[in-house]
Amino acid sequence: MNEHVVLGRWNQRRLNNLLHEASETRGAGERIGFISRHFLNTPYKESTLIGGINTSEVLVINLEAMDCFTFIEYIEAMRLSRSFNEFMDNLKRVRYKGGIVSFTRRNHFFTDWIEFNADLLLDVTEKIGKAVEVTKTLNLKEDGTSLLQGIRPVRRMIKYIPKENFNDSLYKRVQTGDYVGIYSPEKGLDVSHVGIIIKERALIYLRHASSKKAMVVDEDFKEYISNKPGLIILRPKDLT
């Protein structure tokens, strides 16, 4: 299997130390908060993965620069791991259906995590707020073409909390380490952006790889979502 590893300011020894220390942190959410803090200010970069319908898929680890989705993939894989080698194995588990490195088996959509990583995560959207259901055909644009060539469109029922249901109860129920998807009303998409909830005392942040800020940052969660159409929220399971 081909691999492409770019560690940037990290090296395997430092990562091993981080993951070992993180593994002693109780609770999946707190572990995610601890690990992700070390990646604040990491530069934003799109399209770091290698693979396509006409290109062989490569297992990419790029800690030098990342987009919003690769950021949460790396953090989720790290919270499951005690060493760099375990991280590589868990990244395959998180990024690909059945851990098989292939473009057609890559989890291209946030709600793929609900379908294929159910052993790792719970969809808590309905527990967090008053949700609605829609059925969408992912990867099928309004003009009938595909967003991703070579990936079959899939019909999926999606639950999300609409903007009008953002309230204090929602803010109380989210937890550090929750993965948040910003619901997209566009045809063919489930979310437009993803990030991680971080709660510190009375403050709530969205930790995410921001194209606007050009790096991984913490932003005020309430302010950030104030004009967003909806939320999907996944919670990491505590695994023994």
Quote the CA–CA distance of 113 and 138 in Å, as a whole number: 14
Instruction: Note the pLDDT of residue 26.
Output: 84
Q: Residue 46 corresponds to which tokens in the numbers above?
A: 């799109």
Percentage, residues of the chain above pLDDT 70: 99
Q: Determine the Cα–Cα distance for residues 222 and 171; give it in Å rounded to an integer.
A: 8
Let me know: does 43 contact 215? Beta carbons within 8 Å. Answer: yes
Domain boundaries, the chain: 3-105, 120-236
pLDDT digits (tens, 9 = 90+) for 154-177: 999 999 999 999 999 999 999 999
Multiple choice CATH, 120-236, 2.30.30.790, 2.30.260.10, 3.40.30.10, 3.10.20.30: 2.30.260.10
> What residue has token string 């790096």?
215
pLDDT at 202: 87
CA distance 210 to 10: 21
Q: Contact, 35 vs 206, CB < 8 A?
A: no
* Structure confidence by residue, pLDDT tens digits, 23-56: 998 899 999 999 999 999 999 999 999 999 999 9
pLDDT at 1 (0 to 100): 62
pLDDT at 240: 61
**Architecture (CATH level 2) of domain 3-105:** Orthogonal Bundle (1.10)
Q: What is the DSSP letter of 167?
A: -
Is the separation of the CB atoms in 22 and 34 below 8 Å? yes
The confidence band for 147, taking pLDDT boundaries of 50, 70 and 90, is very high
Which residue from 190, 235, 204 is spatially nearest to 27, judged by alpha carbons? 235
The average pLDDT across 180-205 equals 96
Q: DSSP state, 93?
A: H
